[in-house]
């Protein structure tokens, strides 16, 4: 027997009204509204919001028909007794879920980190190259630390295109590990392990499906490089990925604070992402009742972070260096002078078919990168991530529009995060893309977006993940072949600082050193040589290329060149080299070519 709404309750007793004449009719089940599940027992809510355990209702049905005495326990007692019956008071519905998420996070982070470390070890002959550090961008990290140790100020005494925080982090690392290429690689490895952790946090927060996770694992060599050109790039990638993971978890204020810190590392993409986060914060505050308090909660962590970072940079480098580097003035001037861009100059050599055969797009990351970019544009601007023929109860649907339209009708953290990733990638292609290999700087953006799209593909996600995974594997063919060749043909010894060097190039370098030995010689090139004979030196310049050196630095470079008997110029920069620049014409006219080889040239002062 069940309790009917018409039964009268006197005190704690339900009294059955007098029996009525027997009339055959179809029994109607009482209308109960079901509440939450407490452990394994169900709580039914009677009319009048009176809570009664199912066991009590069973007792009512088996009691005497005239008078039924029921003890109505409070909801708190029911919940506590239910938990006590299992002997595990601390276990609930949410804690096992958190435990599962934490276990999934640890497994994903460990898998991603192991893969990145193994890739770095496998490609050591390439990334730990003597030429790589001696004459290219990685050596500028060591040279920048050398310059600030001499008391020079960035953007004043030497041109600098990045943020001051990257110089400070590099200085701390070199102070502990030594100013060596090995320390550079070790710091890069640590940052990449941390990147693996935040990518795993993103995957767990966005609830990526298993095919999406497999694609993310396979495409990780495209998203994260084994070695970046400077320490600024992995540090920026770490902070931006961390901010994306926090936004995916619904922690927008923390994401904005991390993005603010990234402004002092590299003031480019952090401005774009920070602007997007501010817009999301303003929209969220508009929906709150107390707009001012919500706005303070959303922006206060970023404001405190900005003040503390600015104070630290001012204390270490001075207010003038901070003001000259917090806005990318030097970087914009360099892009203009060198004609960098995705649709012009060196950027065209990455994707334009006139420069490459058809198989170039299969054996290099160019093909998969272009495919992921096309998917990103299609989903962001046209298709969205909604499923066909579905209608959520009580919510509007729309027939067309991209991901932004999806967010307008059904706002959520994962849609907001996906839109931010897509807009950042578009901003990079249109505004920040530099030379041929600049795609590496933010390649994690299309990879994360594609993994998110695969996870929302429904029944087709296995097929989509398989096709894109095959493209991702094929994109590593040329890199794998080049790594094999480096293991077999490169040499290393104490004179190269135990870095791997091309045998012919190093033999020619030894000939240059013997020819100028004992004479004041200036090596006019980028990088940081680990070993030089007596008399040879590199200029007191962070990056001696047109558009980067300051006015003070240019005067110092000219003085150093005129004081030298010989100048050694490394081939390869062409029109981007400072030696052939018109600004160096007055110095160049005082030297004549004495010897020219395949990799180096020696010029002697007349």
pLDDT at 457: 80
Q: State yes or no: pLDDT of 47 exceeds 60.
A: no
250 and 112 in a single domain? The answer is: yes
* 478/504 same-domain check: no
Rg (CA), the chain: 33
**pLDDT score of 131 more than 60:** yes
Q: Give the burial string for 206-216 (b: 16+ CB within 10 Å, else e).
A: bebbebbbbbb
Is 150 among the domain residues? no
Model confidence band, residue 55 (pLDDT cutoffs 50, 70, 90): very low
Q: In this structure, are residues 425 and 376 in contact, taking their beta carbons and an 8 Å threshold? A: yes
The string of pLDDT tens digits covering residues 424-438 is 999 999 888 888 888
Give the structural domain span for 235.
98-127+160-484
Calculate mean pLDDT across residues 135-151. Answer: 90
Statement to judge: residues 533 and 429 lie in one domain: no
Q: Could you report the per-residue pLDDT of 363-399, keeping only the tens digit for each? A: 999 999 999 999 999 988 887 776 544 444 344 545 5
Contacts of 563 (CB under 8 A, 6+ apart): 520, 522
Q: Name the least confident of 15-24, 60-69, 488-497.
A: 60-69
Q: What is the pLDDT of residues 266-322, one digit of tens each?
A: 998 999 999 999 999 998 888 777 778 888 888 999 999 999 999 999 999 999 999
Lowest mean pLDDT segment, chosen from 32-46, 291-305, 483-497? 32-46
Domain-embedded: residue 545: yes
Domain co-membership, 468 together with 516: no
Of 418, 449, 484, the one marking the end of a domain is 484
Residue 1 forms part of a structural domain = no
Residue where a domain stops, chosen among 484, 511, 542: 484
| 247 lies in some domain | yes
133 part of a folded domain? no
What is the pLDDT at residue 276? Answer: 94
* Entry pTM: 0.80
pLDDT at 121 over 70: yes
Is the domain of 462 the same as that of 549? no
* Burial of 562 from C-beta contacts in 10 A (0-12 / 13-18 / 19+): middle
> Please, what is the average pLDDT of the chain?
81
Percent of the chain with pLDDT over 70: 79
- Other beta carbons less than 10 A from residue 49's beta carbon: 9
Domain boundary among 423, 453, 484: 484
Query: In this structure, what is the dihedral angle of CA atoms 20, 23, 26, 30, given to the nearest 10 degrees?
Result: 0
- CA distances to 353, 442, 454, 470 from 368, in Å: 15, 14, 15, 10
Q: pLDDT band at residue 190, thresholds of 50, 70 and 90?
A: very high
pLDDT at 179 over 50: yes
In the structure, what pLDDT confidence band is assigned to residue 412 with cuts at 50, 70 and 90?
confident
Indicate if the alpha-carbon torsion angle 316, 317, 322, 323 is positive or negative: positive
Does residue 89 sit within a domain?
no
One domain, residues 431 and 523: no
Query: For 339-352, how does the pLDDT look when each residue is reduced to its tens digit (9 = 90+)?
Result: 677 887 778 888 88
Tell me, yes or no, whether 148 lies in a domain. Answer: no
Q: Is residue 142 part of a domain?
A: no
In terms of domains, do 72 and 117 share one? no
Determine the straight-line distance between the first and last CA of the chain, rounded to whole angstroms.
Answer: 114
28 pLDDT higher than 50:
no
Pair (429, 281) in one structural domain: yes
Overall domain count for the chain: 3
Given a cut of 90, is residue 136 above it in pLDDT? Answer: no
pLDDT at 18 over 50: yes
Task: Tell me, yes or no, whether 401 and 437 share the same domain.
Answer: yes
Same domain, 571 and 528: yes
Q: How many CB atoms lie within 10 A of CB 83?
A: 17
pLDDT band at 360 (very low <50, low <70, confident <90, very high): very high
Partnered with residue 38 across adjacent β-strands are: 41
- For residue 565, pLDDT over 70 is answered with yes
Q: Are residues 503 and 479 in the same domain?
A: no
Say yes or no: 54 and 114 in one domain. Answer: no
Distance of CA 83 to the CA centre of its chain: 42
């Amino acid at each position: 027997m069940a309790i009917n709404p018409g039964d009268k309750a006197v005190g704690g007793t339900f009294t059955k009204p007098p029996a009525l004449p027997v009339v055959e009719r179809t029994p109607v089940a009482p209308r109960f509204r079901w509440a939450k599940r407490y452990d394994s027992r169900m709580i039914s809510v009677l009319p009048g919001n009176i809570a009664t355990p199912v066991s009590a209702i069973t007792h009512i049905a088996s009691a005497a028909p005239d008078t039924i005495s029921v003890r109505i326990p409070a909801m708190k007692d029911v919940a506590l007794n239910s938990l006590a019956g299992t002997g595990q008071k601390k276990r609930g519905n949410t804690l096992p879920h958190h435990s599962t998420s934490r276990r999934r996070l640890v497994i994903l982070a460990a898998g991603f980190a192991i893969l990145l470390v193994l890739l770095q070890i496998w490609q050591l002959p390439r990334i730990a190259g003597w030429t790589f550090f001696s004459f290219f961008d990685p050596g500028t990290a060591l040279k920048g630390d050398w310059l600030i140790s001499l008391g020079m100020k960035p953007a004043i005494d030497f041109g600098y295109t990045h943020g001051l925080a990257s110089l400070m982090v590099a200085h701390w690392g070199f102070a502990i590990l030594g100013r060596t290429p090995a320390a550079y690689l070790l710091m890069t490895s640590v940052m990449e392990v941390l990147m693996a952790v935040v990518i795993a946090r993103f995957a767990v927060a966005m609830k990526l499906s298993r095919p999406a996770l497999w694609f993310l694992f396979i495409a990780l060599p495209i998203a994260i490089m084994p070695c970046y050109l400077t320490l600024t790039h992995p540090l920026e990638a770490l902070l931006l990925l961390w901010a994306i993971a926090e936004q995916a978890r619904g922690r927008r204020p923390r994401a904005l604070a991390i993005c603010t810190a990234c402004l002092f590392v590299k003031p480019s993409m952090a401005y774009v992402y920070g602007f997007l986060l501010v817009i999301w914060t303003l929209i969220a505050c508009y929906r709150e009742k107390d707009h001012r308090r919500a706005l303070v909660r959303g922006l206060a962590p970023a404001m405190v972070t900005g003040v503390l970072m600015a104070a630290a940079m001012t204390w270490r480098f001075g207010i003038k260096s901070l003001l000259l580097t917090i806005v990318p003035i030097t970087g914009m001037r360099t892009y203009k002078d060198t004609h960098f861009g995705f649709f012009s100059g060196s950027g065209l050599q990455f994707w334009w078919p006139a420069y490459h055969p058809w198989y170039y797009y299969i054996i290099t990351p160019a093909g998969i990168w272009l495919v992921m970019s096309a998917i990103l544009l299609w989903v962001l601007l046209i298709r969205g991530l909604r499923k066909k023929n579905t209608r959520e109860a009580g919510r509007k649907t729309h027939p067309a529009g991209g991901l932004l339209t999806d967010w307008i009708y059904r706002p959520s953290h994962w849609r907001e995060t996906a839109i931010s990733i897509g807009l950042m990638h578009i901003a990079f292609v249109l505004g920040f893309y530099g030379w041929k290999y600049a795609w590496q700087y933010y390649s994690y953006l299309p990879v994360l977006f594609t993994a998110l799209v695969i996870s929302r593909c429904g029944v087709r996600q296995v097929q989509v993940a398989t096709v894109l995974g095959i493209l991702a594997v094929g994109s590593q063919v040329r890199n794998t072949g080049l790594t094999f060749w480096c293991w077999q043909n490169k040499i290393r010894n104490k004179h190269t600082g135990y870095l791997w060097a091309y045998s012919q190039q190093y033999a020619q370098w030894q000939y240059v050193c013997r020819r100028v030995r004992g004479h004041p010689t200036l090596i006019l090139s980028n990088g940081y040589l680990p070993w030089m004979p007596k008399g040879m030196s590199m200029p007191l310049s962070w990056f001696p290329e047109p558009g980067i050196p300051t006015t003070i630095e240019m005067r110092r470079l000219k003085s150093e060149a005129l004081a030298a008997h010989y100048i050694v110029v490394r081939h390869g920069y062409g029109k981007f080299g400072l030696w052939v620049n018109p600004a160096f014409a007055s110095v160049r006219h005082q030297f004549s070519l004495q010897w020219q080889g395949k990799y180096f040239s020696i010029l002697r002062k007349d």
